Structure 1
């Protein structure tokens, strides 16, 4: 598969949420490896089941494709434990593992933590880095500490650390501390472009991975309806759950979509009333929040992502997307002309 730097497309990867069945994950990862995909990211939902067993199975079943977690948080695991699991998973897959870490800000209230997310992240990444690369950790932080810890095993400096971020301070911190920026789903291209430009004020060479729902089908209209259904469910959940205390997240989702605020709010009201998302959300929502359509249309959407600064598109399959559909997309991406060829 064409590398991101050789044309105008990001590297193609897969993503799965924490509730995807183990059998489907393993089958899709094997298909992605055969098709030349770059990596597979596994999301661990807050207070959901662990993705580590599934990752371990995929590590043993594959030989080349990269594997990553997007993300662990310092509330689901102390950074010492994140580092320990990262080293174990990197052993299992022969050095193909990447670890993503996020602040877990939405979980903080459940643990009685009042520190700022950026304070938590600065401590968490410092401890995680030391756990991976040193023989001991002695970090006295404002939010998290690891004092006088002696580690077993050999240091593992090659495990890249991706930092998830949405707000401006978090994006700058990700550029400062991480090997890459991890952008969540439901972030439109205008947001991504803003985040990449902001990150560049702290660091110029930077990997940008974005997770995005993907629905691909030779029947483009059918693919877009499937995507709209998933977008509606996810948008409504995020808006209703986070609007009270996470303005940066809501701004990233809503204000950068290109959809006027009143129209966006009206659409959310219709979804709350039970109207089908495929009837409520028009093409603008699908273009803002998903890669959807025919294989060729999906390639054009990937091109837009690359132009916004994304170097790796982690496609989150929605609906009936399986190995066959991935193959159609991979073939279309391989055939897509570069700027010089057009």
Structure 2
């Protein structure tokens, strides 16, 4: 078959080269004044979010007295922080909380793996609903219920141990410095109803069924399938969970405040509680602002590192695909 040569002029009929300025006009679909609609939102966000944070950083250099004149003292609050043994002990407790939280993911992971093996979609829906219903319970209710369970005299745990003939194991769980932190960490056991379970289960649910069927036909066992198929597919969700775990651990304090108040003997003290105690019990608002500022920059530091590595990983993956 003969190939007809098409002249360049004919091949380019209808093609109009656009200037960069024309392309920019085309991309700008909305007039600039339409963004003024965001102005009220930015004012509210700036007043209630950015202004308190900026004022906290500013007053961390003062002997802050909200009711009168505040004296500028430079870095004195930060020098006091370096000698604050309770503050640094709270970070040690925070490290234990973080490691324990990572280890507890084994339970939502196991629940998601067992749930995904159910062939009936209706059965999966029923069990999934039962597993995540506890997420609807207020955190205060959970804390108060577990506080009652930990009561040394008539608490559910000690009463059950005594009825089983294991009374020697009974303890003042949240009143003993040796067991208080561990008891605090066990609140919510088995820790299934939460974000880790939802992310892990969603990642497994999005895997095409054909992959699991092919693995079953090839004789791949359940454990081998977990290591070779399931776990690699959950890598992205695992990175997200680690990022969220770092941020949430640095902000941890609600459960400890309700159950133990940071005691006994500062055994469950965390940075957030230390700041509250310094501000509301000690009345040292400038020092509390310095602690808050330090915690803010620590959180920002870890967030930037995690985002940077995720971005580098994304860029390297994109470059590999483009080769």
Higher helix share: 2
TM beyond 0.5: no
TM-score for both structures, normalised by structure 2: 0.25
Select the structure with the greater relative contact order (CA < 8 A; seq sep ≥ 6): 2
Larger Rg: 2
TM-score of the superposition, structure 1-length normalised?
A: 0.24
